[in-house]
């Protein structure tokens, strides 16, 4: 948003609990990453930091726009969507001397077409490109958010400036282990040999990481996963939940969301799993999570019908719920996913209910076009006092007619 230019901004996690994203301006005034919002609130208010709840509808749509822009600029198969805000690009068809200009062309086009600012790191391998991207974001004034590591000297300097804990694929525990071996940056790690990496960095995975640091591509471009093998919907409750009826409503609502995703990829599931999580309990000055309580049901045959999935999911709540406990989170997972047109059933199962499938399709179409669950099953409830809190959410400018941005 133009009026936020140069102003510190933070984004909060589910239920506005923790800070999960910060602009450079917010970092400079001392706002900590992953810190509780209530602790940072005095600092945020004192410096006029713009604060927003997570806005998944907006993020998903803008992510799709960015990825589609990248696909228009590159040949087919040269874009791998890694996450909602990251992608790998195959630039092997670009002459080495033109890489920097082409990277700026991509950056300028994405920003002009979508309004989303991007940074681009170019290097011989995926791991090295992540190194380049980290450095170009860290030194924006020098790199203008584009860094091409196209010479041995540039690669060596970049690796030397990258602590081991900031290497893509090196977790916290492995970073501490490497530091015990007096390996403190990516350059020192890159000088090790493959047998050492295999022994000390997790076998084949560690060997692959080392090759990538040495400039040997070991991670090929991957095709987008069209159909998921597991579909989950999980949410934190907006307020503590103590009643069985509220837990059942939440489970029914999450099952409905998962069923919509299931039908969107023309699939059916034969296993329904649920979990509920009790609120933390105090142990002196520390807090700990209560044990996650989970259960699953294997259906007689795979289905994509919301009512059948809800019935199987809600039934499990009775076995997990304990009166007197306070619950903070719940979730539903659908697995054992198969194509909806290839469901294997027994000789004694009733014929598929085509009218029920038509009903599901009609509900999906209406809910997609009208939003806000215009049609839903009664098991999902009407009040939803447990619904996730998003008190500071920005408008969903690109996916809601009533929330379109107005230019005056």
Q: For residues 140 and 86, is the Cβ–Cβ distance under 8 A?
A: no
180-191 pLDDT, tens digit per residue, is 999 999 999 999
Q: How confident is the model at residue 346 (pLDDT cuts 50, 70, 90)?
A: low
Q: What is the DSSP string of 250-275?
A: HHHHHHHHHHHHHHHTTEEEEEEEEE
| Residue with tokens 């991207």, as numbered in its chain | 133
93-136 pLDDT, tens digit per residue, is 999 999 999 999 999 999 999 999 999 999 999 999 999 999 99
Average pLDDT, the chain: 89
Q: For residues 343 and 268, is the Cβ–Cβ distance under 8 A?
A: yes
For residue 370, the model assigns a pLDDT of 74
Q: Using CA atoms, how far apart are residues 178 and 29, in angstroms rounded to an integer?
A: 32
pLDDT higher at 352 or 59: 59
CATH 3.30.1490.100, applies to 231-380: yes
Q: How confident is the model at residue 396 (pLDDT cuts 50, 70, 90)?
A: confident
Structure token digits, residue 104: 């700026």
Please list, in sequence order, all residues whose beta carbon lies within 8 angstroms of the beta carbon of residue 82, skipping any fewer than 6 positions away.
Answer: 88
By percentage, how much of the chain surpasses pLDDT 70?
93
Average pLDDT over residues 395-406: 82
Does residue 146 carry a pLDDT above 80? yes
CATH topology agreement for domains 2-54 and 231-380: no
Smallest CA-to-CA distance from 118 within 107, 127, 129, 109 is with: 107
For residue 289, the model assigns a pLDDT of 56
CATH code of domain 2-54: 3.40.1170.60
For residue 161, the model assigns a pLDDT of 96
Does residue 252 carry a pLDDT above 60? yes
This prediction has a pTM of: 0.79
259 alpha-carbon distance from chain centroid: 19
Domain ranges of the chain: 2-54, 58-213, 231-380
Please list, in sequence order, all residues whose beta carbon lies within 8 angstroms of the beta carbon of residue 353, skipping any fewer than 6 positions away.
Answer: 305
Smallest CA-to-CA distance from 241 within 327, 306, 308, 161 is with: 327
Smallest CA-to-CA distance from 116 within 70, 153, 161 is with: 70
Q: Using CA atoms, how far apart are residues 393 and 66, in angstroms rounded to an integer?
A: 22
64-93 pLDDT, tens digit per residue, is 999 999 999 999 989 999 988 999 999 999
Q: How confident is the model at residue 404 (pLDDT cuts 50, 70, 90)?
A: confident
Average pLDDT over residues 8-36: 89
For residue 17, the model assigns a pLDDT of 82
Q: How confident is the model at residue 271 (pLDDT cuts 50, 70, 90)?
A: very high
């Amino acid at each position: 948003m133009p009026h936020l230019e140069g102003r510190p901004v933070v984004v909060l996690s589910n239920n506005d609990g923790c800070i999960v994203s910060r602009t450079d301006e917010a970092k400079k005034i001392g706002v900590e990453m992953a810190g509780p919002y209530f602790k940072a609130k005095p600092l945020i208010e004192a410096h006029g930091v713009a604060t927003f709840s997570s806005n998944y509808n907006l993020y998903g749509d803008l992510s799709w726009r960015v990825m589609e822009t990248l696909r228009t600029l590159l040949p087919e198969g040269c874009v791998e969507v890694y996450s909602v805000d990251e992608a790998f690009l195959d630039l092997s068809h670009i002459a080495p001397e033109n890489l920097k200009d082409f990277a700026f062309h991509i950056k300028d086009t994405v920003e002009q077409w979508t309004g989303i600012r991007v940074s681009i790191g170019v290097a011989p391998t995926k791991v090295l490109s992540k190194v380049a991207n980290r450095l170009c974001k860290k030194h924006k004034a020098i790199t203008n958010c584009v860094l091409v590591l196209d010479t041995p000297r540039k690669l060596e300097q970049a690796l030397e400036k990258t602590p081991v804990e900031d290497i893509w694929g090196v977790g916290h525990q492995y970073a501490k282990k490497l530091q015990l071996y007096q390996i403190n940056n990516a350059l020192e790690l890159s000088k090790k040999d493959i047998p050492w990496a295999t022994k000390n960095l997790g076998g084949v995975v560690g060997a692959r990481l080392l090759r990538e640091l040495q400039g040997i591509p070991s991670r090929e471009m991957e095709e987008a996963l069209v159909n998921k093998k597991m579909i989950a919907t999980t949410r934190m409750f907006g307020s503590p939940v103590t009643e069985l009826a509220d837990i059942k409503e939440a489970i029914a609502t999450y099952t409905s969301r998962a069923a919509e995703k299931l039908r969107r990829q023309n699939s059916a599931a034969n296993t329904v799993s649920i979990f509920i999580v009790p609120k933390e309990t105090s142990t002196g000055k520390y807090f700990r999570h209560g044990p996650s309580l989970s259960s699953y049901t294997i259906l007689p045959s795979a289905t994509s019908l919301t009512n059948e999935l809800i019935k199987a999911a809600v039934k499990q709540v009775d076995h997990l719920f304990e009166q007197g406990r306070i619950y903070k989170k719940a979730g539903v997972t659908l697995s054992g996913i198969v194509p909806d047109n290839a469901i294997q059933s027994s000789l004694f199962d009733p014929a598929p209910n085509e009218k029920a499938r038509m009903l599901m399709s009609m509900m999906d179409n209406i809910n997609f076009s009208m939003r806000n669950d215009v049609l839903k099953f009664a098991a999902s409830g009407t009040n939803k006092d447990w619904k996730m809190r998003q008190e500071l959410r920005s408008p969903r400018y690109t996916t809601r007619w009533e929330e379109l941005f107005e230019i005056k």
